[in-house]
Amino acid sequence: MKRAWHKSTRLNFEYRDRDIELVSWSRIKKIPPPSDAIEDYEDESGWWVILSDEQGDVVYRQIIHNPIRVDKELFSYGNEEGVRWEIPDAAEQHGDFSVLVPDIPVATHLSIYGSFEEDDVSVPSWEVLSLELGLENLELDTETMAAPRDLEEGRLIGITKLVDNGSSTEKWNIALLSEGYRDSEIPDFHGHSEGFISKLKATHPFTELWNLVNVYLVNVASIDSGIADPRNPQDNPRTYFDARFYNFASNDRLIVANQDLALLVARQNVPEYNLAMMIVNTELYGGSGGTVAVFSAHPQSAKIGIHEMGHSGFGLADEYEYAGSNGLIGKRYAGQPRSEANIATSIERARLKWGHLIVEEDEIPFFRNPNCNDFSPKPPSHLAGKVGAFEGAFHHHCGVYRPEAFCIMRSLGHNSFCKVCGNRIRKIISSNF
């Protein structure tokens, strides 16, 4: 589908448990993300937003990462593959998320399709929200237009455009927020941001796309420095986004923060942002995913941020496996085909999403996991860099395939996205040019 959209609407949603509500909107002079396929997706499982016209015909579809999580993605220090850590707090089942869609005059209806748990993948995603798009029925996002709020825990200092490749209306924009930095430490935040940007720019395919990216630093000063540490209840600094280590067993360093406030601050200060991220002022390794990617100032934590970009910025799936505590994850995937670009449940060439990347005369490079009760072994070295079908992905040992042996969506030990993930990133970022 040829893109002809030059204006967008940012739709702001609130969820509580399984109930999703559109709470506000704002029009933005900004090129929106391109449409994903609007045909032959009805049997898939995953999350996406649809715009349709008066006749019910789909005119736009955007695949998104699951915005409603009851767990967090965790990368232990020294362990390059992730796990999902359950968050039992009721507060974690309430939150906000935003979606940027094109402002299409003929679009009269919006739907969100999704499945709330990985147990639900045995059936296609269902319509979890349906509403008419008459803006007179919606609340204008006056909160975003209001002046940024100073809190007891800190204040906004200002915005710095760290990477300037042109107008924010035509570039893919990152809003990078500071957390746990005092006024006098904002220069440290700039230094940590430059370190992250250096790693991101060196990561395929961002190297070739860099002239299409802007990075804005949202300089938020906290009253105190650092992050709350549950090992020491007295170490509870007053910080703007209330960042804290959620658990600190062994090397598990899961950092959580007020993501709803972070989204609001991003909207207020960088209205055209495509992705919001947060650097937390601690030298300890850690981070987490979600609507806002959170990672610490530790040099190795940058890779957590880059992996999480794959989710929140481009709708990519995890390619790693793990043994889930509930016994439902980590063995054989037996669900519906997935909507994400980088995982597949069929290895038939005609149905393989990335089959066009394999030379027609060649056999599909294939690697099967011989034991579905255990992690897939490392594929032989001659398959490295080849696009094929590699069993073991999406938190399962068998029954679901990734496009290459190695990718940063599988392991933080890899320094680039695979070709399929790279094409997905390229498609979205290039649409802004």
- Residues recorded for the chain: 433
The pTM of the full predicted model, rounded to 2 decimals, is: 0.90
Residues 221 and 277 in one domain: yes
Give the end of a domain, one of 137, 170, 192: 137
Q: Find the CATH number of the domain harbouring 248.
A: 3.40.390.10
Count of domains observed in the chain: 3
Q: What is the structure's pLDDT at 192? A: 98
Q: State the pLDDT confidence band at 324, using cuts at 50, 70 and 90.
A: low
Residues 181 and 281 in one domain: yes
Q: HSE on the CB side for 22, CA within 13 Å?
A: 24
Residues 288 and 253 in one domain: yes
- Pair 389, 344: CB distance under 8 Å: yes
Residues 393 and 368 in one domain: yes
- Whether the CA torsion 35, 41, 42, 44 is positive or negative: it is negative
Secondary structure letter of residue 72 according to DSSP: E
| Residue 287 located in a structural domain | yes
Q: Provide the percentage of residues in the chain whose pLDDT is more than 70.
A: 84
Is beta strand 213-222 parallel, antiparallel or unpaired with respect to 172-179?
parallel
Residues 185 and 285 in one domain: yes
Residues 207 and 299 in one domain: yes
DSSP-derived 3-state class of residue 347: coil
Tokens of 341: 């670009």
| Residue 18 located in a structural domain | yes
CB atoms within 10 A of CB 10: 21
Residues 307 and 160 in one domain: yes
The rounded distance, in Å, linking the Cα atoms of 114 and 129 is: 9
DSSP-derived 3-state class of residue 362: coil
Q: Find the CATH number of the domain harbouring 122.
A: 2.60.40
> In the predicted model, what is the mean pLDDT of residues 123-137?
81
| Residue 126 located in a structural domain | yes
| Residue 269 located in a structural domain | yes
Please say if the pLDDT value at position 189 is more than 80: yes
Please indicate whether residue 175 or residue 92 has the higher confidence score (pLDDT). Answer: 175
Q: What is the structure's pLDDT at 114? A: 92
Please say if the pLDDT value at position 130 is more than 80: yes
pLDDT in tens, 380-426: 888 888 999 999 999 889 999 999 999 999 988 888 999 999 999 99
Tokens of 102: 């094109």
pLDDT in tens, 343-389: 999 888 778 899 888 876 677 888 889 988 888 888 888 888 899 99
Tokens of 414: 């890899």
| Residue 261 located in a structural domain | yes
Of 4-8, 57-61, 62-66, the one with minimum mean pLDDT is: 4-8
Give the end of a domain, one of 82, 111, 137: 137
| Residue 142 located in a structural domain | no
Please indicate whether residue 75 or residue 315 has the higher confidence score (pLDDT). Answer: 315
Q: Note down the domain range covering 70.
A: 8-137
pLDDT in tens, 197-256: 999 999 999 999 999 999 999 999 999 999 998 777 777 899 999 999 876 555 457 888
Residues 117 and 30 in one domain: yes
Residues 120 and 102 in one domain: yes
Residues 272 and 171 in one domain: yes
Residues 87 and 103 in one domain: yes
| Residue 417 located in a structural domain | no
Tokens of 1: 């589908």
Secondary structure letter of residue 378 according to DSSP: P
Residues 121 and 32 in one domain: yes
| Residue 79 located in a structural domain | yes
